[in-house]
A and B are shown apart, each in its own frame.
Chain A
Amino acid sequence: MLKIYRNMKKFAAPIAGILLLLFLQVMSDLYLPTLMSDIVNNGILEGNVAYIWKTGAVMLLAAAGGVVCAVAAGYLGAKVAVGMGRMLRNQLFRHVESFSLSEFERFGSSTLITRTTNDIIQVQTVTIMIINMMVRAPLTCVGGVIQAYHQDRMLTLILAVALPVLILVIAFVTSKVIPLFRQVQQKLDGMNLILRENLTGIRVIRAFNKKDHETAKFENANRDLTDTYIRVNRIMAFLMPMMMLIMNLVTVSILWFGSKRIDTGEMNIGALMAFTQYAMQIMFSLLMFVMMFVMIPRAQAAADRINAVLGTAPEITDPDSPATAENKKGYVEFRNVTFRYRGAEQPAIRNVSFSVRPGETTAVIGGTGSGKSTLLKLISRFYEADEGEILVDGTDVKAMAQKDLRRRIGFVPQQASLFTGTVKENLLFGKEDATQAEVYHAAEVAQASKFISEMPQGYDSLLAEGGRNLSGGQKQRLSIARALVRKPEIYVFDDSFSALDFKTDAKLRAALKQDTKQATVIIVAQRVGTVMDADRIIVLDEGSVAGIGTHRELLKECGVYREIAASQLSEEELS
């Protein structure tokens, strides 16, 4: 929390304003009992009606002044708290956008979304409450004590005894309750997890006839949560009346000792009445404080999550004076590249070297976890290689601006992700100024034009939620078309044909071949059929290159490749 508030310097002036206004407002609130006491002493006891009217008018003014201050403070407070939320959101989003995949995956997109939205809202809400109540509470407390002291010194001793007792009780109970609240949250999360699993795995659960098992699991979690909830609420049921009782005890003592002091003539009745009201206000401010304490752990957790993101430095940044490689087009070279995922024992890519030229098709093949996708992602510098060099168009990718590097590459990922918007908007994602003809052509090549034209509004059809209304194959074809529109120097396909049926796959590749004649194509695939006609096949095995060559060469020389091919092709096809 504090860490987040630290970068609120921009709001220093309004915050100072809020403090001042709230102070004035609290003082006006506290001034009213003093005036009331004056009415009693000088008006009522003296029978001076005119004085009562006059003081009444002053009270009214004080109250009005108070409300003006409060409204003004509310205005500034809303602007500061919501403004802080805005600032934090912008900061967080900008920061996440600068993350390389390495940092991004460390968090995962779902939690990053939660952090950008819910968590910041949480912090913002609590900030508002802090401004509204928590700041007011100590002001009221201090102001109240000063006023009380002003009214009667000896009676303030009662407060000196009561306040620490109250604070101790609060501290004791909250120290018991806050961990319980945390437990409730954990158990709630746990139960929701079971629920979520039950919903996503409903077919499996029913297929394995585990309904009763899951119901029992849920029942346990439900029961456990309920018990904890009841425990927390019972403690809270104790806390509130207990605090009220202590407050009331204070009132009674004030009345008693006040009477004594009035008897000896050291105090008057008006002062006693004012004093009682001060005591009440002080206690109530403490109560508010307690309510805040229940809120803060929640916001604290949210703040921690936000800070964790903000505190993660992006691994990949642009060099100060980026190099440009204008004279070459479509060259990719790996020189002894080694890369390991953060925290992984084994490198995902080990000492890989190869180079490709424009007009060539290079295929990458290998088993699960052999590092095919990783290899492709290194070209676009989504990850930073640990050793060796990756050169694109003859220049080290680390020396280039990321945008400049990626401008040269048309990347088609394994999982096609599209964005909300029309089909056309999606296709124009990589090149906003592409012409109509370019878009149509790309769709044609990607075998997408047929189904697009079958959609109700054709190219202007809206894709809901990133294309939920499309099949996997359709999404993949749009994702390919999107890369084609860009007309990049280097095409990178990461197993991008997996959701297509064989017929479409074949047609697409044939059309692509025509379209990418001048370009460099790098393709990851599982099917030997997809790669066998490539100019160069790189066979990866556990991150290392097991062989590089054409289909025929590899069948002869590379055992790993032969094995892969044998698993997919018939005898005659192998020969």
Chain B
Amino acid sequence: MSNHKQPTRPAGGPGGMGHGGPGGAIGRPVQKAKNFKGTLKRLSGYLKPHTFQLAMVFFFALLSTAFTVLAPRISGDSINQLTDGLIAKHIVSEVTKAQDSMVPALTGRLNQIETGREQAQEQAKAAVRAELEEKGAAQDQIEAAEQQAASAAGKAFDKQLSQTVLPEQQSAMRELVQLTRIGDLTGAEEKAEAVERFASLTKLLPQSGRDQSFQISDGDLQKYLGDIRETNGAIPFRAIGKTLLLLLLIYLFSALFTFLMRYIMAGVSQITVYGLRKELNGKLSRLPLQYYDSHPSGDILSRMTNDIDTISGTLQQSLTQLALSVCQILGYIIMMLLYSPVLTLIVLCTLPLYIGVTMLIASHSQKYYKAQQKYLGKLSGHTEEMFTGHIIVKAFGREKESVETFEQVNDDLYEAGWKAQFMSGVMYPLMNFVSNLGYVMISVIGGIFVTKSVLNIGDITAFIQYSRSFSMPIIQTANIANIIQSTVACAERVFEILDEEEEIPDAEDTVNLIDPKGNIRFDHVKFRYQESAPLMEDMNLDFRQGETVAIVGPTGAGKTTLVNLLMRFYEINAGAITFDGVDIRRMARGNLRKLFGMVLQETWLFHGTIEENIAYGKEQATHEQVVAAAKAAHADHFIRSLPDGYQTVLNEEASNISQGQKQLLTIARAILADPAVLILDEATSSVDTRTEVLIQKAMGALMRDRTNFVIAHRLSTIRDAHLILVMDHGTIVETGNHRELMEKNGFYANLYNSQFAGANLE
């Protein structure tokens, strides 16, 4: 019918994923473990066999982080190189430009001075000559005087000149003019020297001769000169290239190590969880049935699926993430400190803000999450009831009320839900804002530092990268702290199962019955399910091979208990049960139970073919044997009418065949197992009486030479029993065969007669 069947999936339990989203688990109420430390220790015990791999994981985490942390520094270096080169290039080109503009001017000025002096000298000479020639001085006298006058004039000129242009300035000007054009130089050292010389010379120049565009402080000059020496006044592409290659290498290594880490962890975590699952399953197979009586299977299932899933996810993702995050936080702090303690302080100042925001929001969102959980539970409960009782809701015309209740709870759920969602959704933007606050502060203060030459631009970019990356591991660590808490709570629930008391192990010298007959004795058996509620106080029974024993009694009279004790599903408190004279506690449970063939009230079949289901009780049964058993159970006919016959696959809830058909299959299964003792526990209650008669005929042959226990409501089916045990309130109130019991006119007779009460009351 339900071919759209979908296995119930754990609510909100994305297996192995869904962790690590930013701000994901923050603000959600966390399940707390009762014994956090002990459970954590025990859980880590499961990782012990993988100590080496884990050490590798942490080693790689460290390496990968180291490289991740280094990378911004290197890229900052490349930006520094770029800016240095850019500045050097800028300086060289500026100086060259200055030279180009100054040299002609200076040359002109120098020429002007020269010509001025020469003119003055010539004038002086001419004056002297004219004067002396008037006096009629000798030619050589004149010449000497001329010389004298010229030099005097020169001196006078120089003296006058020195009032405006100092001699050092003049020599500086001269030197400047002679300085080679820096742009034409090739060597870095030459360029630097030339720039230095140029700078020192220009300082000597008179105000008028200086180039206004070119002014630098001594401190800057030294830095620039260094830049020029390093970069030769051009962007150092070779060096940048090298740095970038290094950067690439670092990224490559970082990626490689991250990959190795995750790769190893994938194995470790899954194998650990595999082991845990295996251990748990093994444990479940050794737990006594009492455990299953007192624990709903849904709860056990949830521990084994949801809880283990959470553990798996944590091991897979959160652990490595935690290792990475912690390393990163430390690494980033160290690197930031290396750049600038002051800026680091600013970044660290945002930390309390992160914590404050988290706490504030968590305190608000917790209550909404709790409310959400509550209403969700209520809603699921209502849905489950209304759907399982769909036919009743319809029959009593209660659809409207049902929908109204649903919508009411749904409204409550919505109110709590969107608030919880909003609260946890707001976390990330707020964190982002805090991070941006830090960003702005660093941009501003860092910028000021750069103008004051405390830091370089590359340092700022690196620092910004560090500070921006810094917030991520912090959020994640907070996140993971929460995840680990709930994981430990999950682990605790798993360990609770592992700590349950197991069945008493089989005795070491077990007896194996070679040719079981089926003589069973209850010898002063005392049994109670619960210590406080007495059930069987002193039971003595004797069943012999080939007998059919019927057990009757009202519901809850303890009919099933007898069978439970026979097959040692429960341990008796006192006395003994013997099989062919052997105490059943001296047999291995497996061997003991093989002696019985059981058809239970609950028709348990598994997801598999019909043939597999019938052959369940007997390994290596041939197809012919399966068919023969099915025929004996009158199941062959309906099986053949199914589309795939014996190969028809029963779906998960075996709902593709009817209840009666299921019962026929379980009967066939018991027939095939061919046991010494047959137990039919109300096995035919869902089979109509006509079919039942057919089955009984088959059973009649099967039951011969065996001991049979039949538990049934229908008295007609047990009239032929050799012995009828009438049970009430856990004890046997009457025994005997049908006739004897009817003659007794007691409890059984009363019970039997009431079957026809309808007729008798006419």
Contact = CB atoms under 8 A, between A and B. Distances in A.
B59 interface: no
17 contacts: A29-B432, A44-B451, A86-B413, A97-B399, A233-B316, A236-B262, A237-B266, A241-B259, A245-B252, A252-B244, A252-B248, A256-B241, A259-B237, A276-B461, A402-B394, A402-B397, A502-B754
A452 B392 CA distance: 21
Contacts of A532: 758-759
Contacts of A509: 757-758, 761
3 nearest A-B residue pairs (beta carbon): A506-B757, A237-B262, A70-B429
A155 to B, nearest CB: 14
A105 B12 contact: no
Interface stretch (B165-173, B181-189, B414-422, B572-580): B414-422
A206 B600 contact: no
B15 interface: yes
B754 A506 contact: yes
B396 interface: yes
Interface in A341-384: 341, 366-370, 377, 380, 382
A195 B240 contact: no
Nearest to A421: B385
Interface centre among A97, A200, A201, A211 (most CB of B within 10 A): A97
A518 interface: no
Contact of A196 (B248, B301, B460, B752): B301
B82 A118 contact: no
A305 B267 contact: no
A223 B429 contact: no
Contacts, number: 513
B105 interface: no
Nearest to A110: B8
B397 A406 contact: yes
A568 B386 CA distance: 38
Given A39-B444, A506-B754, A506-B757, A259 B235 contact: yes
B251 A195 contact: no
B413 A430 contact: no
A509 B284 CA distance: 45
A79 B281 CA distance: 43
Interface stretch (B190-198, B404-412, B477-485): B404-412
A33 to B, nearest CB: 9
B516 interface: no
B645 interface: no
Given A368-B658, A532-B758, A208 B673 contact: yes
Given A79-B418, A218-B281, A195 B305 contact: yes
B433 interface: yes
A176 interface: no
B736 interface: no
B2 A107 contact: yes
B262 A78 contact: no
B263 A237 contact: yes
Contacts of A49: 447-448, 451
Nearest to A346: B641
Consensus secondary structure, chain B interface: helix
Interface stretch (A138-146, A182-190, A329-337): A182-190
B696 to A, nearest CB: 9
Interface centre among A200, A203, A403 (most CB of B within 10 A): A203
Nearest to B397: A403
B410 A86 contact: yes
B395 interface: yes
Contacts of A568: 689, 714, 716
A567 B433 contact: no
A116 interface: yes
A292 to B, nearest CB: 11
A162 interface: no
B685 interface: yes
A190 B47 CA distance: 26
A52 interface: yes
Contact of B590 (A98, A115, A211, A570): A211
Given A63-B433, A241-B258, A411-B396, 12 more contacts: A67-B429, A195-B305, A204-B604, A207-B598, A209-B593, A222-B274, A223-B274, A244-B258, A245-B251, A368-B660, A502-B713, A506-B758
B660 A569 contact: no
B705 to A, nearest CB: 21
Nearest to A115: B6
A233 B313 CA distance: 11
B297 interface: yes
Given A74-B422, A252-B251, A506 B457 contact: no
